[in-house]
Chain A
């Protein structure tokens, strides 16, 4: 097996503990890096070997949970999805995501971000509430209808688009590319009837109309989504509903459920005694 060379990389990490520090400062760590090592691997090395007090958020290590978004060499990345050798530099500067309040070191407060996400009601809304609760039929959606919104379903809610967005930097009340893209994702869904509930949330002075179309969100998105496109499509949708022009979306047809379905897998029993 080929043996890879180990190189020493300097991690210049921004540290900030609001209980002790007046302002953020940098601390340098030397990390042995080998081929294929990600920035997250480097941070884990620091935490395990050099400074256990370093705070950063991580979970899946495979770019599906969206936990480890951070500013690496002044550009937002998922640390688990970014290899150290990509930068071709012996020094990496690591900072928390901008446009979000810092909790500690590289951990930012995502509560305002998720509050905005929840505000646009990111789920299928229909007028027939009884059918939603106790479905008697299934909604048929063509592959073409799915294609119009499929890319926007891949959002991992990492907050990288917000941190890259110049409007979010200047306007703290801006809804942000993530929530706007998700608003389009659900409004464009043929099964959904919730436009009238979502439009008042995005049709404000700090909503969809404040996007500058800089495209930084699409450029930075680690999952390859195009939130800037979603925002433009959302603008078109909102205007066409207001002036009553443009094609109306064909609602998905209802089809009877298959006659033979697999029984639902029973919920597993709790392994911890007393847990509910």
Chain B
């Protein structure tokens, strides 16, 4: 049953990535079109604009959510590829734990800045 849930979450995170990444891409690259509809995002790629967004709880949580789903989707996919190419029970355990530890380190490292800015 564990593999069923892993696969199902992979499916759900795929859909979530499509939604969250679309928001990110529209914000970053279609600011001219957003301006046409009266939404002013003030040069979204500038440092000042990024810090301003990170100070807002909704944007910070949106980006942390995107980080979580991308990390799960990518690392679970990577685990599946490695297990397919090196099929053995011992490898399975080592690969699984290495991926979990790597995912936690990347999450803490990447989410530190928005969390620190939010709590400042």
Contact = CB atoms under 8 A, between A and B. Distances in A.
A239 B5 CA distance: 8
Contact of B4 (A171, A174, A239): A239
B93 to A, nearest CB: 11
B80 A210 contact: yes
A235 B8 CA distance: 10
B33 to A, nearest CB: 36
B89 to A, nearest CB: 9
B1 interface: yes
Interface in A166-185: 167, 170-174
A171 B8 contact: no
Contacts of A235: 7
A243 interface: yes
Nearest to A172: B87
Decide if the interface of chain B is mainly helix, strand, loop or mixed.
Answer: helix
Contact of B87 (A171, A207, A243): A171
B85 interface: yes
Contacts of A68: none
A239 B87 contact: no
B4 A173 contact: no
Contact of A203 (B1, B84, B85, B87): B1
Interface in A190-238: 199, 203-207, 209-210, 235, 238
Contacts of B80: 205, 209-210
Contact of B3 (A167, A173, A203): A203
Contact of A171 (B1, B6, B84): B84
A242 interface: yes
A193 to B, nearest CB: 18
A209 B5 CA distance: 11
Most buried by A among B5, B85, B87: B87
Contacts of A209: 3-4, 6-7, 80
A228 to B, nearest CB: 16
A203 B83 CA distance: 15
A206 B4 contact: no
Nearest to B83: A205
A235 to B, nearest CB: 8
Nearest to A171: B84
Contacts of B83: 171, 205-206
Contacts of B4: 203, 209, 238-239, 242
Contacts of A173: 87
B8 A167 contact: no
B92 interface: yes
A174 B85 CA distance: 11
B8 A205 contact: no
Nearest to B95: A205
Interface of B: 1, 3-8, 80, 83-85, 87, 92
- 3 closest Cβ pairs, A-B complex: A173-B87, A242-B4, A171-B84
Given A173-B87, A203-B1, A206-B84, 4 more contacts: A171-B83, A206-B87, A207-B3, A242-B5
26 contacts: A167-B84, A170-B85, A171-B83, A171-B84, A171-B85, A173-B87, A174-B84, A203-B3, A204-B3, A205-B3, A205-B80, A205-B83, A205-B92, A206-B87, A209-B3, A209-B4, A209-B6, A209-B7, A210-B80, A210-B84, A235-B7, A239-B4, A239-B8, A242-B1, A242-B8, A243-B8
